[in-house]
């Protein structure tokens, strides 16, 4: 079986076809999915999805690309995370690709999320783009290793992956790993230890080959697993077993879908 460790089923393009998407998951042996929060105003609908479906989980957090938001505080985030279906804090992190100028607000927001994760004792979902050095530095300064988590939609170097793993983080591969030009990322996927790997779709974005350019969905996470299996010359069942076990270990969830602290 497979688990989509990062998707946005509450986004309108997916939410309107939710029943069909859940059926497609079942057809493709995708047993669970983590619906990831990107801002607080929309958090209730993310939580509602998780509450309505035994095989869906949720996170709480504010994405670093959302500039014009009331800044979340660690205590507020930790309080919102006090729910059995909220299994992570995030998506949080740094993104210097889309935004320019003084981004100190982004770094402070990231710190608040790490502090919230430590308060709530729940793992982090970290987004980093064109900001690896600062991301790792803040993780170290704020003690992110105490809760661990996942480096979501990983596109960084082998060195960055190893530093994150040393801080108790998993590395999650998205459909990008299936892209022909993702040569360096394919090397990371070939070499990373299986017990530190997760797979995801980040749907509705980044559909894998052979669906590149189309609307992504959790059922397509199987194609991410297939690509990694081919790169490593192993059976897809090995990827399925490892990434499923890793999901439950990373997010401290038992296989019946109940959060265990």
Q: State how far the Cα of 104 lies from the Cα of 189, in Å rounded to an integer.
A: 32
pTM flag (> 0.85): yes
Residue 260 domain flag: no
Q: Residue 223: left (phi > 0), alpha (psi -120 to 50), or beta?
A: alpha
Query: What CATH number did the domain enclosing 150 receive?
Result: 3.20.20.140
Residue 18 domain flag: yes
pLDDT digit string (tens) for 36-59?
A: 999 999 999 999 999 999 999 999
Q: Tell me what pLDDT residue 101 has.
A: 85
Residue 258 domain flag: no
Residue 201 domain flag: yes
User: Which residue, 141, 137, 95, 84, is CA-closest to 118?
Assistant: 141
Residue 229 domain flag: yes
Q: Tell me what pLDDT residue 99 has.
A: 83
Q: Tell me what pLDDT residue 222 has.
A: 98
For the chain (261 residues), the mean pLDDT of every run of 10, in chain order, is 98 97 97 97 97 97 93 97 97 93 95 98 98 98 98 98 98 98 98 98 98 97 98 98 98 67 31
User: Which residue, 199, 227, 260, is CA-closest to 7?
Assistant: 199
Name, in order, each residue with C-beta under 8 angstroms of 156's C-beta and a sequence gap of 6 or more. 128, 132
pLDDT digit string (tens) for 128-138?
A: 999 999 999 99
Q: Where are the beta strands (DSSP E) in 68-156?
A: 86-95, 124-129, 149-151
User: Which residue, 157, 166, 220, 175, is CA-closest to 196?
Assistant: 166
Residue 232: its H or E element = helix 221-232
Q: What is residue 250's three-state secondary structure?
A: helix
Residue 261 domain flag: no
Neighbours of 107 (CB within 10 A): 16
Q: Tell me what pLDDT residue 256 has.
A: 65
Residue 113 domain flag: yes
User: Which residue, 72, 80, 91, is CA-closest to 6?
Assistant: 91
Q: What is the tally of structural domains in the chain?
A: 1
Residue 22 is part of which domain span?
A: 2-250
Concatenated DSSP letters of 161-217:
HHHHHHTTEEEEE-GGGGSTT-HHHHHHHHHS-GGGEEE---BTS-PPTTSTTSPP-
């Amino acid at each position: 079986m497979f688990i989509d460790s990062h998707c946005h089923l509450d986004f309108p393009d997916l939410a309107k076809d939710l029943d069909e998407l859940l059926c497609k998951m079942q057809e493709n042996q995708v047993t669970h999915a983590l619906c990831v929060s990107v801002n607080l105003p929309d958090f209730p609908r993310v939580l509602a999805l998780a509450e309505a479906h035994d095989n869906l989980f949720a996170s709480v957090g504010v994405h670093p690309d959302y500039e014009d938001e009331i800044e979340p505080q660690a205590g507020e985030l930790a309080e919102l995370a006090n729910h059995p279906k909220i299994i992570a804090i995030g998506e949080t992190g740094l993104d210097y690709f889309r935004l320019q100028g003084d981004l100190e607000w982004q770094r402070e927001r990231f710190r608040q999320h790490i502090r919230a994760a430590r308060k709530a004792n729940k793992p982090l979902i970290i987004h980093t783009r064109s900001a690896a050095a600062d991301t790792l530095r803040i993780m170290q300064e704020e003690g992110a290793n105490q809760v661990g988590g996942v480096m979501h939609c990983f596109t960084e170097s082998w060195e960055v992956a190893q530093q994150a793993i040393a801080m108790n983080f998993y590395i999650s591969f998205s459909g990008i790993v299936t892209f022909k030009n993702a040569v360096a990322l394919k090397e990371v996927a070939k070499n990373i230890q299986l017990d530190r790997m997760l797979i995801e779709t980040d749907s509705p974005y980044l559909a894998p080959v052979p669906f590149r350019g189309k609307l992504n969905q959790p059922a397509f996470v199987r194609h991410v697993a297939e690509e990694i299996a081919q790169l490593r010359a192993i059976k897809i069942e090995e990827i399925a077993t490892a990434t499923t076990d890793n999901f439950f270990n990373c997010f401290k969830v038992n296989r019946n879908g109940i959060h265990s602290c």
